[in-house]
Structure 1
C-alpha cells in the first residue's frame, strides 16, 4: 500500500474516532508529535511494525490499512470486553438497569497489558449527565477496571454505587476517607459515606462524534 494512502487513512481514522494524533502517539509510546510528523511530513517513511500492530488493534482495522504487507501474519486473537447493561450518571445517581453483558468491543490483549489491566476485570459502561464535563460527556463509553477499587494518593475517576444507583466521580483520599468531586464546578464535592461501594476505575473513554 502506498505510504501516502497510509498517512491519509491514519488521519481519517483518528478523526472518525475523535482521537488526536498526539494521543495516538502517546498510545504507542512515542513523543506527542510523532504521528503528526508522519502524516504531514512523511517522517518516518513508514510505521514501525509494533506501532502499526497496536494502532490497528486500537482503531479496529486490518494492519494492511496502515501499511502492512498483505502477506503479513495475523495480529493474534483479540479479547472481547463486555458492555454492561447499566448506566452510570455523572449527576446525582443513576439506576442500575441490570448486569447483562451486551456485545462490547474486541481489543488486542497486548494493549491491555500496556494499560496494566486484566481482560477479565474490564467492562464498558455508558455515562449519562453533565457533572463530569469537560472530561466525560453524556453518552461516553467508559472502560472500567473492576480490579482497581483503591484510589491512590493522587486520586482518579471511578464508577461507584450509591443508594440511588451508579455514578461516576473523581475520588481523592482525604483524612482517612474519600472526597467525591465533579470536574464540572457547578456540582459541589461531598465526603463519601461508609455505604458507598467503589465499582472500578475508569481507564479509557470512547466517544461517538455526532
Structure 2
C-alpha cells in the first residue's frame, strides 16, 4: 500500500502538467495500458483532484470491475495489456489522469499516464467597455448691448416745464383759497358786527309837520 501511495505522489508531481486529450460530453473514450513490465496483476487507476480510484483489476484473462460496470468496460488484448473503455464520458467526474500499474514480485511498475479532460465550455464574452474621455464643456454667453432708439418719440414737455407748471398751479390754488377765506371772513364779520358800518338816517313820519325853530 505504501508503494501505491508513493507511486501516485510521483505521478501527480511529474505528469499532472502533461498534455491532455479533450473529449466531448457523453462520448466514448478508450484508455490503453502499456506497462513497462508484465506482472501477475494489472490495475487501472483514475487520479483526480479528489484522490485515486481503482477502476479495474485484471488477473491473467479475468477482469474485475471495481467501478460501475455500466459505465466502464475492460478487456485484455493479445499482448496481455488491459484496455479500458469509458462508455459515456462525463467531464465533471471522468476528467483526470489514467494510469495502469502491474505487480511483479511485490513491486508496482507504472505505465504511461494519460490525461483526459472535457472540452472547455464556450466563454461568453460580456459587452466591451468603451472608455470615453469627457471633454470639458465651455459655455459662452453673448451679452446683448442695449441699442437706444434715437428716432423714437421724445417727450413733449421737459422736466423744467413740469416743475414750473406744478409750482404755478400750486401758487394759484393757494391764492384762490386765500381770497375765498378773506371774503368769507368779511361776510361773517359784517353779520355779527353791524355797528361798525354807517346807518342811514330815518325820515320824518308822514303827515308830521316840522316844528319851526325859533331864534332868540
User: TM-score, with normalisation over the residues of structure 2?
Assistant: 0.18
Q: Which has the larger radius of gyration?
A: 2
User: TM-score, with normalisation over the residues of structure 1?
Assistant: 0.19
More strand per residue: 1 or 2? 1
